[in-house]
Amino acid sequence: MSDFTKVAQLKELKEVQVKGVRVNGEEIALYRFGDEVFATSDICTHEQCVISENYYIDGEEVECTCHGSHFNIKTGENTVPPAAEPLKTYPTKVDGENVLVEI
């Protein structure tokens, strides 16, 4: 059964910014593109830096600025090392002003 949890309000999310939220023990990074929202793990797969506190966004990629790894925000794919593993991604929904993530 799907379990979407409200994690934020759409107005709290800004383009080209990352908002970190903690939900059910998971650390999640939220990214806004227009009225769409994407969610990945907020913990870099390289050396566990918190992405929402160490990032640079370029188009659909987020860079973890701790050591320069890049990830695709929509798929989690690791596109630039030193990380070697993708970020976990989470399904999202926008319902009016509410942003929900399936944990």
Chain positions contacting ligand FES, by CB under 6 A: 44, 46-47, 49, 64, 66-69, 82-83
CA distance 61 to 39: 13
Question: Which residue number, 29 or 66, has a Cβ lying nearer to ligand FES?
Answer: 66
Question: Which residue number, 85 or 95, has a Cβ lying nearer to ligand FES?
Answer: 85
**Can you tell me whether residue 68 is helix, strand or coil?**
coil
Question: Which residue number, 5 or 54, has a Cβ lying nearer to ligand FES?
Answer: 54
- List the structure tokens of 71: 């990830």
Taking Cα atoms as reference points, which of 17, 41, 37 lies closest to residue 29? 41
CB of 91 to ligand FES, least distance (A): 24
